[in-house]
Structure 1
């Protein structure tokens, strides 16, 4: 089950964190993986470990994405799986403080990177193909201080649903994943990372941080032919945060 032998996968932001785990997981299931990332050293190392190919790519640069997808698609003839995962999260700022440059940087990487990835991979995809975009739980719900990040990740959900409707007639599935705090190098370097972990853990049914391997497992499921009828969905990976009020919240608000 969930065998990917003979399939070709392209993963952006694949040099570390979620993308790296996706590359390892999909290649382990039999897929040939193209590792796309700005970080040449780390990206090359991941590609070599997975037996794949590294292509240096800046997802905020339309021509860079177009060239990467063209290289991958022309080399193998088809792209079966596209994981638009690359993203950034800048330090928290309230709405009144957000500059246009800051807002647009989130949009360029998190939103346009996904749009370009779908647009330029599409000519190389055929029936049975799967696109998985990385949004966030903050692409479905908001948190104070994350205005520009929230907007960029909400856009990913909208793009995903629209692409699912448009590409569905050609048998291509499009979904996005919406994790809470994931234990990645990016989170460790984020100035408000620990506060984010504490907040999500407190509000979740299972008080735990998400590991990138957990996310990669869902990406694997959505990529496989065993999953032919799930499309247009924003799937939460949130330890039950969106299910309801957690015990921690409940007992703090109404102590016994």
Structure 2
């Protein structure tokens, strides 16, 4: 018997902050792309809360600078167990290799080092397979695939052994979604690239992993909640019967960056409420 939307949790997420702390992360430095809003902003804030200084990057310069300042002000007003990390925001177009190099140079100039690099920026286009245009597939691969490669290259040039890179893949790398052919293809490429980077950058003592989110409550997936049919389908195929929150993606990210994952590389961790199994 199928389950109706009314019988399920109506799309609510668990946005409680993650309580895990890794003391060794205080004083480290991270670069986070796509950090103006959504998961990227949550990643930047969560890291700074734990003492990591962050260069927050986004193609929307005004918004990412405002986000960085806002997070900094909020942290300064809180009573935290450890001194929060500092944060700066700057513009970066992830399709431009030189912009990644500028991010790396800014991190080193401001904070003296780079320990973590999170390739989070991405786009989520829609078109049925027969309607995917050259412009759409080109833009999707440039942002979602080339943007990850260029970020990893810049990170590898500036990281010391012990550094960690985390790429944002998706359960769409494993599951086909109608109308998202370009996106699914790009995320499958990210998953495989993560394995390739892990093999090659292991020689430099740099770990590379990926996170594969499912239905997460962000602006990129707002269409799910705005469409009753799409929401019903999402809640039906997710065994936990709710959408995830950016905070629930941050937990695995934090683990992958920490020393607790120091012998883990080349893996993609699905954060999808189990939907990849349905």
> Deviations for 1:187-229, whole angstroms, at most 9, x for unmatched residues?
2268987655443321111011010111111111111112211
Q: Is the 8 A contact 1:8 1:31 kept in 2?
A: yes
Root-mean-square deviation (Å): 1.9
With the length of structure 1 as denominator, give the TM-score of the two structures.
Answer: 0.89
The answer to which of 11-20 and 54-63 deviates more is 54-63
Q: Residue 27 of structure 1 aligns with which residue?
A: 48
Determine helix, strand or coil for the equivalent of 1:236: strand
Q: Is the 8 A contact 2:55 2:103 kept in 1?
A: no
CA distance in 2, matches of 1:53, 1:239: 33
Q: Residue 89 of structure 2 aligns with which residue?
A: 54
Q: 1:217 aligns with which of 251, 258, 262?
A: 251
With the length of structure 2 as denominator, give the TM-score of the two structures.
Answer: 0.82
Structure 1 gap ranges (5+): 246-256
Q: Is the 8 A contact 1:33 1:52 kept in 2?
A: yes
Determine helix, strand or coil for the equivalent of 1:226: helix
Q: Residue 106 of structure 2 aligns with which residue?
A: 71
Q: Residue 237 of structure 1 aligns with which residue?
A: 271
CA distance in 2, matches of 1:238, 1:193: 19
Structure 2 gap ranges (5+): 1-20, 73-85
The answer to which of 123-132 and 198-207 deviates more is 198-207
Q: 2:235 aligns with which of 201, 207, 221?
A: 201
CA distance in 2, matches of 1:122, 1:116: 10
Equivalent residue pairs, number: 243
Cα distance, 1:185 vs structure 2: 1.8
5 Å-filtered alignment, 1:89-238, equals 89-91=124-126, 93-188=127-222, 196-238=230-272
Higher relative contact order (CA 8 A, sep 6+): 2
CA distance in 2, matches of 1:180, 1:29: 26
